[in-house]
Structure 1
Amino acid sequence: MKKILLPLLFIVSFLTGCATILGEPNQLLPIASQPNGASTTVTDERGYELYTGTTPTTVILPKSDGSYWGGKSFVVTISKSGFETIKLPVETNATGMYIGGNLLFGGLIGWFIVDSMGGNMYTLSVDGLNPKLSPQSNLSSVRTKEGISIVLLDDVPAYLHSELVKIN
């Protein structure tokens, strides 16, 4: 009996992936804001609107698009009258269980076949969102007919500095 059981356990362990066994295909994302009562929209990488509501809330997000190594990404838009609108990216990353667990137990089958086909190998890049909304500023700006806005750097909210494009 031991001669059959030991090889059988060995084979079964290599046909499973650690993230598939221990992970979940969806993850909860708590979303709040300061102040509360802000409109919230969650869109995925294809532009599909997955959720619309107000803060505080909790959204269930799928971690995979169902394709081979198809981790999802999202944009959470939070807006409230009298405050600046905030767009926050939420990405998916490989979990430690996918990387380390398959190194020890799942092997190549776990890495390249079993875990990579579902969302269980991913985790969201943030545990929750709770941004402080900035009061809307009265920007003194010039808008050209091409859609370019010219503003002073001091008038641009700090969270938008990474999106600025130098043109000269």
Structure 2
Amino acid sequence: MKNLTKSLFVAAFICLFSSCASIVSKSNWPLTVNTNPNGVKVEVTDKRGATVFEGLSPTTIYLKSGSGFFSSQSYLLKLTMEGYETKSIPVKCNLNGWYFGNIIFGGLIGILIVDPATGAMYKLEKEIVNETLEKKDGQTQASLEIKDIKDIPASMIQHLVKITQ
């Protein structure tokens, strides 16, 4: 009987002072960034505009899913490389399905305190970002060279086109 009481007490303690998403899930999530070409500068800012990461692709970044009590985090990935168009990709955090496990396992403490405080009630909406940067317009600009016919090799003269009458 003593063992049964002790086991019930431990089970009740775990249920009351834990939460499902905090136990089964996490509050820091990996985000893998792959780009074409490699070596793109990756800058990640949070919803307050603070820079949380700077580095080069490919990379894996660990981002917090919560930004305060009952508040999810969101990020903006800025991909830049000289000669290429800059890309900005929003990354949001959504409600974690494990949060609803508190109904059975974590109880009110998990629903109202632990998971909202740790950020475990949220998860990143994507775990991998694959982006291809486009070359900037005008990267290979057309040019016009005016030459005297005497300066053109004989092999090229047959390809000339008369433009005036």
TM-score for the superposition, normalised by structure 2: 0.74
Tell me the SS of whatever aligns to 1:13.
helix
| CA shift for structure 1 position 98 | 1.0
Question: 2:120 aligned with 1:120, yes or no?
Answer: yes
Q: Aligned residue for 1:87? A: 88
| CA shift for structure 1 position 33 | 0.6
Q: Aligned residue for 1:130? A: 130
Superposed CA deviations along residues 11-68 of structure 1, whole A, max 9, x for unmatched, are 4313311111122231221111111111110001111111112111111212222x21
Aligned length: 136
Q: Aligned residue for 2:23? A: 21
Unaligned runs of 5+ in 1: 139-168
Tell me the SS of whatever aligns to 1:30.
strand
Q: Aligned residue for 2:37? A: 35
- Give 1 or 2 for the bigger CA radius of gyration: 2
**Residue type of the alignment partner of 1:30:** T
Tell me the SS of whatever aligns to 2:110.
helix
| CA shift for structure 1 position 116 | 0.8
Q: Aligned residue for 1:143? A: none
Q: Aligned residue for 1:105? A: 105
| CA shift for structure 1 position 123 | 1.1
**Residue type of the alignment partner of 2:89:** L
Identity score, percent = 33
CA distance in 2: counterparts of 1:122 and 1:34, whole angstroms? 30
| CA shift for structure 1 position 127 | 0.8
Q: Aligned residue for 2:66? A: 64
CA distance in 2: counterparts of 1:36 and 1:8, whole angstroms? 52
Q: Aligned residue for 1:96? A: 97
In the TM superposition, what are the counterparts of 1:48-59 in structure 2 within 5 Å?
Answer: 48-59=50-61
CA distance in 1: counterparts of 2:116 and 2:36, whole angstroms? 37
**Residue type of the alignment partner of 1:137:** D
CA distance in 2: counterparts of 1:11 and 1:28, whole angstroms? 31
Q: 1:43 to 1:5 in 2, by over 3 A?
A: same
CA distance in 2: counterparts of 1:55 and 1:96, whole angstroms? 30
Unaligned runs of 5+ in 2: 139-165
| CA shift for structure 1 position 87 | 0.4
| CA shift for structure 1 position 8 | 4.4
**Residue type of the alignment partner of 1:83:** Y
**Residue type of the alignment partner of 1:106:** G
**Residue type of the alignment partner of 1:22:** V
CA distance in 2: counterparts of 1:35 and 1:4, whole angstroms? 60
Alignment RMSD (CA, Å): 1.7
TM-score for the superposition, normalised by structure 1: 0.73
Q: Aligned residue for 1:145? A: none
More strand by share: 2
